[in-house]
Amino acid sequence: MKPRAKSLILKPGKEKSLLRRHPWVFSGAIARVEGDPGIGETVRVIGSDGAFLALAAFSPQSQIRGRAWSWDAEEDIDPAFFRRRLQAALDYRTTMRIESDAVRLVHGESDGLPGLVVDRYGDHLVAQFSSAGVDAWREAIADALVELTGVPNIYERSDADVRGLEGLPERTGVLRGKAPPVPLAIHEHAIQIEVDIPGGHKTGFYLDQRDNRRRVYEAAQGMADADMLNCFCYTGAFSLAMLKGGAKSVLSIDSSGPALALARANVVRNGLDPSRAEWMEADVFKALRELRDQGKAYDLIVLDPPKFAPTPATVERATRAYKDINLLGLKMLKPGGLLFTYSCSGGVSPELFTKIVAGAASDAGVQARIEGRLAAGADHPVRLSFPEGEYLKGLVLRKI
């Protein structure tokens, strides 16, 4: 007897997002699963009318049960498929002018490879496999990356919390070649930055903020005798931009002692005057209140917090946190000063973030105008069919 095709059969009316080329199939959209597919296995997604919709990777433990690979029923999902998708992602990056040897080469769904992130740091690649589909093809993807990039060293950082939702264990370590040095130095515009690939956040660093750091640097160049504040500073990349731009002083706050130690080293590496940089290991919310009570004021402030809303259920709580720090930041901003404020929470839309910051300004009794809207760099693309890819958003505000 011929085995049944491994398929996800959708409920009536649940095919609309796939027809718009959105790659996710949620568990609630599925009427039944046929053929007993394994974790990460390729399945056919079929509408309630029997029409083919997509080929997808099956994830039985996730709320996102399927992630679409292709809308072509005849396409083979095999090593050659991943080589083609990776080549397309690499070719796209060659169209960009990126003044750095640290670049995002693959950005998940936006590059047609759901759950895969690949960053290049000089002679080392860092790969993160966060979905069952790409995890099942991990070895083939690693082989193709070495072949197509010519970079022999791949370090895996598959330790994001989302792997637990996929039923996958965390995994880190050398995938190909040799381990990266700790720290590893990269360059970005006119700045050198030491990063910790095995132990740092994400894949070791926040590459998505590259263009925004450049904008802070340019703003600092236009401010004479300015005092600046960098909150949630991590390893001090925004602080370096401020100091390199000519800030008189920069106070940088983070709760991580090791991150601040690397930030201090980055100041020395760039030949900047350490006496212009002050570091505070503290809870940022508490520190901002203390600085406000002390009457401190700054010409330029950066608020770049971690992801306050990792899931839709946490958006309400995140809204309060974003409003709190922006209210405090706006109060301490000098008239005419600039606030660079960000959210990296995918559940907080750009429109909602603007509304939150406007509410903070109103409660602070502050008038400000929007001088810019910020997003991730071009190597973190967003597909129209996948708006969730627009996770990083920000505003440049000038206090009136």
As a whole number of angstroms, the longest Cα–Cα distance in the chain is 81
- Is 3 a residue whose pLDDT tops 90? no
The 10s digit of each residue's pLDDT in 200-211 is: 999 999 999 999
Instruction: Tell me the three state secondary structure of residue 319.
Output: helix
User: Which contacts qualify for 309-313: CB closer than 8 Å, 24 or more apart?
Assistant: 309/345, 309/346, 309/347, 309/348, 310/161, 310/345, 310/347, 311/347, 312/347
State residue 2's pLDDT score. Answer: 43
- Is 212 a residue whose pLDDT tops 70? yes
List the single range of 143-147, 212-216, 269-273, 310-314 with lowest mean pLDDT: 310-314
What is the arithmetic mean of pLDDT over 112-139? 98
Which uninterrupted H or E stretch holds 133?
helix 132-136
State residue 4's pLDDT score. Answer: 59
Fold designation for 79-184? Transcription Regulator spoIIAA (3.30.750)
Q: Please state, in angstroms and rounded to a whole number, the distance separating the CA atoms of residues 190 and 192.
A: 7
Give the pLDDT band of residue 298 (cuts 50, 70, 90).
very high
Instruction: Tell me the three state secondary structure of residue 223.
Output: coil
Domain(s) of CATH 3.30.750.80: residues in the chain:
79-184
Residues forming a β-bridge with 46 = 9, 52
DSSP 346-376: TTS-HHHHHHHHHHHHHHHT--EEEEEEEE-
Give the pLDDT band of residue 5 (cuts 50, 70, 90).
confident
Instruction: Tell me the three state secondary structure of residue 30.
Output: strand
SS3 content of the chain, % helix, strand, coil (to 5): 35, 30, 35
- Is 91 a residue whose pLDDT tops 80? yes
Catalytic residues: 344
Q: Please state, in angstroms and rounded to a whole number, the distance separating the CA atoms of residues 264 and 106.
A: 31
CA distances from 190 to 108, 186, 269, 297, 336 (A): 29, 11, 12, 28, 27
Which uninterrupted H or E stretch holds 65?
strand 64-70
What is the arithmetic mean of pLDDT over 73-85? 98
State residue 120's pLDDT score. Answer: 98
State residue 190's pLDDT score. Answer: 87
Give the pLDDT band of residue 309 (cuts 50, 70, 90).
confident
The 10s digit of each residue's pLDDT in 277-287 is: 999 999 999 99
- Is 238 a residue whose pLDDT tops 60? yes
Domain(s) of CATH 3.40.50.150: residues in the chain:
206-399
Give the pLDDT band of residue 26 (cuts 50, 70, 90).
very high
Q: What's the one-letter identity of residue 137? A: W
Instruction: Kindly give the interhelix angle for 79-93 and 138-149, rounded to the nearest 10 degrees.
Output: 40
The 10s digit of each residue's pLDDT in 36-59 is: 999 999 999 999 999 999 999 999
- Is 127 a residue whose pLDDT tops 50? yes
Class of domain 206-399: alpha beta
- Give pTM, 2 decimals: 0.94
The 10s digit of each residue's pLDDT in 239-272 is: 999 999 999 999 999 999 999 999 999 999 999 9
Domain(s) of CATH 2.30.130.10: residues in the chain:
7-70
State residue 1's pLDDT score. Answer: 34
CB 245 within 8 A of CB 340: no
State residue 310's pLDDT score. Answer: 74
Work out the mean pLDDT of the chain and round it to a whole number: 96
Fold designation for 7-70? 2.30.130
List the single range of 84-98, 101-115, 303-317, 329-343 with lowest mean pLDDT: 303-317
State residue 301's pLDDT score. Answer: 98
207: its two tokens: 């590459």
Give the residue among 73, 44, 40 at the shortest CA–CA distance from 57: 40
